[in-house]
């Protein structure tokens, strides 16, 4: 793997997008600061919110998963992510509904948005434009516009940072600026390591091992959004099947399936473990026992989050996982950017 092979395979220069991840975060914050007055009505209503629903698909929904885990602990309010055309029946005028669509044209999110309006919920929309922004303008809904020009999955820095800033502003929590400055610093430092095209790069090394079989990703419930993100990145970038499951739940069922696997050489998949220092002590113990029980049945790769706050550790795993999936695509001689089968599916839905 070298710069020449990247130029040949990576025709849309996904490499450059990854290199500028820290700039996506700072740009998202700057753009939000210029629009946060759009949230004044929601900020006044915050005391009346009884629950929060984040509607979105793909990267927008995964950003919601990270937000759910972080802000549920802060607010003590139920937060749910909706990946569907229909919203839960409990949504009402005391609900805050945030409809996120990078393109602004995601049909599931638009359908959910209409149902939220019918339920008389308090609503915020986040998009680059499209039908979602048009609906927000037509109905006088609060709206935040984010930067366009990327593949939706490439815009996780914009989606997650904007959502995090939205919650901080509406609920008058501590400013996210200091926390995000730490994250930006960490992403810049990581980039110097991860963008280096050399066999000493640990993610290039790991990609050469992981690229030839489907991947199963195990994580705690706390880190499960990072597992979903990595699963999506491997499938879309490397065009390789990947699956994500949570510990301890998999200990109660899926672990039995490993009895049919006797040698790593014959294993139908590779395994990635995503771990965090704040995983429940019993979950940490379960990981250790799991690795002992399954020793020799598959190749295992383990990544532990790094950072101070939970959100810092989430960004850390997001960025490392994005680079891993990128190098897996290159190792498979696959252009990471196109997602032709998704385009075909959408075209058939529209016909």
Domains located in the chain, CATH noted: 3-179 (3.40.50.10490), 198-331 (3.40.50.10490)
CA dihedral (323, 328, 330, 335) in degrees, to 10, reads: -90
Q: Check residues 203 and 295 and name the one with the higher pLDDT.
A: 203
Q: Give the integer Cα–Cα distance in Å for 82 and 95.
A: 13
| Segment 318-325 mean pLDDT | 98
Tell me which residue of 255, 233, 258, 230 sits closest to 244, measured CA to CA: 230
Please name the residue that has the structure tokens 């001689």: 333
Please name the residue that has the structure tokens 């110097």: 192
Q: What share of the chain is helix, strand, coil (3-state, %, to 5)?
A: 55, 15, 30
Question: What percent of the chain stands above pLDDT 70?
Answer: 100
pLDDT in tens, 145-180: 999 999 999 999 999 999 999 999 998 877 788 899
Catalytic annotation, pick one of 108, 115, 179, 236: 236
Q: How confident is the model at residue 264 (pLDDT cuts 50, 70, 90)?
A: confident
pLDDT at 262: 86
pLDDT at 199: 83
Q: Is the pLDDT of residue 45 over 80?
A: no
pLDDT at 41: 86
For residue 198, count other CB atoms closer than 10 A to its CB. 9
Residue ranges of alpha helices (H) inside 294-339 are: 310-331
Strands (E), the chain: 51-55, 79-82, 95-101, 122-127, 142-145, 215-220, 242-247, 270-275, 300-304
Q: Give the integer Cα–Cα distance in Å for 53 and 55.
A: 6
pLDDT at 107: 96
Question: What percent of the chain stands above pLDDT 90?
Answer: 86
Q: How confident is the model at residue 2 (pLDDT cuts 50, 70, 90)?
A: confident
pLDDT at 295: 85
pLDDT at 275: 98
Q: How confident is the model at residue 210 (pLDDT cuts 50, 70, 90)?
A: very high
pLDDT at 159: 97
Q: Check residues 55 and 73 and name the one with the higher pLDDT.
A: 55
| Segment 1-5 mean pLDDT | 84
Query: Among this protein's residues, is 278 annotated catalytic?
Result: no
| Segment 308-334 mean pLDDT | 97
Q: At what angle do helices 156-170 and 58-75 cross, to 10 degrees?
A: 30
pTM, rounded to two decimals: 0.96
Q: Is the pLDDT of residue 110 over 90?
A: yes
pLDDT at 43: 78
Residue ranges of alpha helices (H) inside 102-217 are: 107-118, 130-139, 156-170, 177-194, 202-210
Cα→Cα distances 349→102, 338, 345, Å? 19, 19, 6
Tell me which residue of 181, 150, 200, 167 sits closest to 71, measured CA to CA: 167
| Segment 269-281 mean pLDDT | 97
| Segment 200-226 mean pLDDT | 96
Instruction: Kindly state the greatest CA–CA separation across the chain.
Output: 61
pLDDT in tens, 10-20: 999 999 999 99
Catalytic annotation, pick one of 198, 252, 265, 266: 252
Residues paired with residue 243 on neighbouring β-strands, in sequence order: 216
Query: Among this protein's residues, is 252 annotated catalytic?
Result: yes
pLDDT at 54: 98
| Segment 322-330 mean pLDDT | 98
Beta-sheet pairing, 270-275 with 300-304? parallel
| Segment 243-250 mean pLDDT | 97
pLDDT in tens, 60-109: 999 999 999 999 989 999 999 999 999 999 999 999 999 999 999 999 99
Q: How far is CA 263 from the centre of its chain?
A: 33
Query: Among this protein's residues, is 172 annotated catalytic?
Result: no
| Segment 210-236 mean pLDDT | 97
Tell me which residue of 136, 145, 190, 118 sits closest to 28, measured CA to CA: 145
Q: Give the integer Cα–Cα distance in Å for 324 and 341.
A: 22
Q: Is the pLDDT of residue 31 over 90?
A: yes
């Amino acid at each position: 793997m070298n710069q020449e092979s990247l130029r040949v395979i990576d025709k849309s220069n996904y490499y450059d997008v990854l290199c500028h991840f820290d700039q996506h975060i700072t740009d998202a914050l700057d753009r939000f600061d210029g629009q946060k007055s759009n949230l004044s009505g929601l900020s006044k209503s915050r005391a009346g919110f009884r629950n929060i629903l984040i509607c979105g698909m793909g990267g927008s929904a995964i950003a919601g998963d990270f937000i759910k885990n972080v802000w549920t602990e802060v607010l003590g309010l139920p937060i749910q992510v909706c990946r569907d055309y229909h919203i839960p029946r409990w949504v009402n005028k005391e609900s805050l509904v945030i409809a996120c669509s990078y393109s602004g044209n995601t049909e599931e999110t638009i359908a959910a948005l209409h149902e939220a309006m019918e339920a008389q919920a308090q609503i915020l929309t986040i998009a680059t434009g499209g039908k979602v922004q048009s609906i927000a303008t037509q109905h006088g809904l609060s709206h935040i516009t984010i930067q366009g020009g990327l593949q939706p999955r490439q815009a996780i820095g914009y989606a997650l940072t904007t959502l995090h800033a939205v919650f901080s502003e509406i609920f008058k929590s501590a400013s996210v600026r200091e926390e995000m400055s730490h994250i930006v610093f960490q992403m810049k430092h990581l980039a110097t390591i991860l963008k280096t095209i050399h066999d000493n790069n640990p993610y290039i090394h790991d990609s050469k091992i992981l690229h030839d079989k489907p991947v199963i990703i195990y994580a705690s419930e706390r880190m499960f959004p990072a597992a979903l993100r990595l699963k999506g990145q491997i499938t879309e970038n490397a065009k390789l099947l990947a699956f994500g499951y949570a510990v301890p739940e998999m200990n109660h069922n899926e672990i039995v399936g490993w009895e049919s696997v006797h040698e790593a050489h014959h294993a139908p998949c590779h395994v990635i473990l995503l771990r965090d220092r704040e995983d429940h002590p019993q979950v940490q113990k379960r990981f250790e026992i799991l690795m002992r029980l399954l020793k020799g049945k598959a190749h295992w790769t383990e990544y532990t989050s790094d950072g101070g706050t939970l959100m810092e550790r989430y960004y850390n795993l997001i960025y490392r996982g994005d680079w891993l999936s990128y190098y897996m695509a290159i190792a498979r001689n696959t252009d990471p950017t196109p997602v032709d089968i998704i385009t075909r599916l959408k075209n058939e839905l529209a016909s």
